[in-house]
Amino acid sequence: MLCPPEPSPGPQPLDGPPADPPTSPLPLGPPERGADSSPKGPPSPLAGKDSSFEDLEQFLATSERRGQSPGGPPEPATPGLKEPLLEQLRSTVKDIHNAIDRLLSLMLLAFEGLNSAVSKDRCLACIEEPFFSPLWPLLLALYRSVHRPQEAALSRSMELYGKAPPAAIGIPSKLLPQGPEATGTGTYPYRAAAQELGLLVLESCPQKKLECIVRALRAICACAEGYHRAHEPAPDAEPQPGTAAIGADDLLPILSFVVLRSGLPQLVSECAALEEFIHEGYLIGEEGYCLTSLQSALSYVELLPGGPAHAAETGTSCTGGSTAFAPALT
């Protein structure tokens, strides 16, 4: 088992007395955590960690039981029901961040040489897979209970628009195939991207999931370029680099179409969890852009106008949002 070493023995780590951490900057995760990493905090980090996972399992068991008896109304009123879930999620998220911080600290205590920005990133990358793989299914279940209204709205939209032609989602015809691929029964445009999203839900390591999202968006760009080229069989020399390059104006409608075809409402929960746990350095880069775009497409799809049943179902969760920008479905 992992056990924090005694602080007393001989060579102290370079990092000064253990009393100063709350003020020391650590380039990880949200700042609120600083508050409870004070030395007078939880008596034993490991006990804290174990019990929080037990809590999570216990919580999942009870929420399943609750789900199995749909007849009887749950004890608290609807707003009260959401609160404990959110609270549970928040504290679980915090526990996970703390656990990762501790693992990182242990690695740095064990190997002083790792104490550089680059090495820390490496350490975190190494921790990630063994740490998250067993945890992700449980964590996702928790995220899914919290995001149940969004998932319901998404699957509703997927039902209503899952077979809608790409032009209905606002994809211009120059970015669509003309040939058999356009009308073929077994396939649809941008299928490669939807397949990548399908792989995402099979992975259990955040980094690998993120890679699936990046590959999905790259697939969109590659397909778009291919379709565009096919429209303009430019006989005059090389096509100018960048003339077929699509910007967000095209990317988002295509991504929304891909989301609809994927038929995976749980993507909204996956993305929420990824946003929380991927390395902060990725948020500004290509990976962050891809995640943000997928989240945007998901909320766009979620808010597509539905039938009256849709309004009743999601009326509580999206406060007035759906009327604010009724999408222009032509």
Partner 1 sequence: MAVAGGGGGAAAGRAYSFKVVLLGEGCVGKTSLVLRYCENKFNDKHITTLQASFLTKKLNIGGKRVNLAIWDTAGQERFHALGPIYYRDSNGAILVYDITDEDSFQKVKNWVKELRKMLGNEICLCIVGNKIDLEKERHVSIQEAESYAESVGAKHYHTSAKQNKGIEELFLDLCKRMIETAQVDERAKGNGSSQPGAARRGVQIIDDEPQGQSGGGGCCSSG
CA dist 47 and 36 (Å) reads 15
- Smallest separation, CB 122 to partner 1 (Å): 11
Q: Residue 104, interface with partner 1 (CB under 8 A)? A: yes
CA nearest neighbour of 151 among 186, 327, 159, 216 = 159
CA dist 112 and 115 (Å) reads 6
26: DSSP letter: -
> Using a CB cutoff of 8 Å and minimum separation of 24, what contacts does 21-24 make?
none
Q: Residue 34, interface with partner 1 (CB under 8 A)? A: yes
Q: How many helices (H) and strands (E) does the chain have?
A: 12, 0
CA nearest neighbour of 193 among 267, 243, 140 = 267
Q: Residue 110, interface with partner 1 (CB under 8 A)? A: no
CA dist 275 and 271 (Å) reads 6
Q: Residue 167, interface with partner 1 (CB under 8 A)? A: no
- Smallest separation, CB 149 to partner 1 (Å): 17
State which of positions 56-95 bind partner 1 (CB under 8 A): none
- Smallest separation, CB 29 to partner 1 (Å): 8
3-state secondary structure of 232: coil
CA nearest neighbour of 290 among 198, 193, 202 = 193
Identity of the residue, 40 or 65, whose beta carbon is nearer to partner 1 in the bound complex: 40
- Smallest separation, CB 80 to partner 1 (Å): 28
Identity of the residue, 59 or 310, whose beta carbon is nearer to partner 1 in the bound complex: 310
State which of positions 283-302 bind partner 1 (CB under 8 A): 283-290, 292-293, 295-296, 299-300
Interface with partner 1 by CB under 8 A: which range of 4-12, 65-73, 138-146, 192-200?
4-12
CA nearest neighbour of 39 among 58, 22, 52 = 22
- Smallest separation, CB 321 to partner 1 (Å): 7
Q: Residue 308, interface with partner 1 (CB under 8 A)? A: no
State which of positions 225-254 bind partner 1 (CB under 8 A): 225, 241-242, 244-249, 251-253
- Smallest separation, CB 179 to partner 1 (Å): 23
Beta strands (DSSP E) in the chain are none
Identity of the residue, 39 or 130, whose beta carbon is nearer to partner 1 in the bound complex: 39
State which of positions 126-145 bind partner 1 (CB under 8 A): none
- Per the CB < 8 A criterion, the answer to whether 251 and 217 are in contact is yes
State which of positions 310-329 bind partner 1 (CB under 8 A): 321, 324-328
Interface with partner 1 by CB under 8 A: which range of 86-94, 105-113, 205-213, 230-238?
105-113
Interface with partner 1 by CB under 8 A: which range of 20-28, 64-72, 147-155, 185-193?
20-28
Q: Residue 281, interface with partner 1 (CB under 8 A)? A: yes
Question: Which residues have CB under 8 Å from 136's CB, separation 6+?
Answer: 204, 205, 206, 273
CA dist 5 and 77 (Å) reads 47
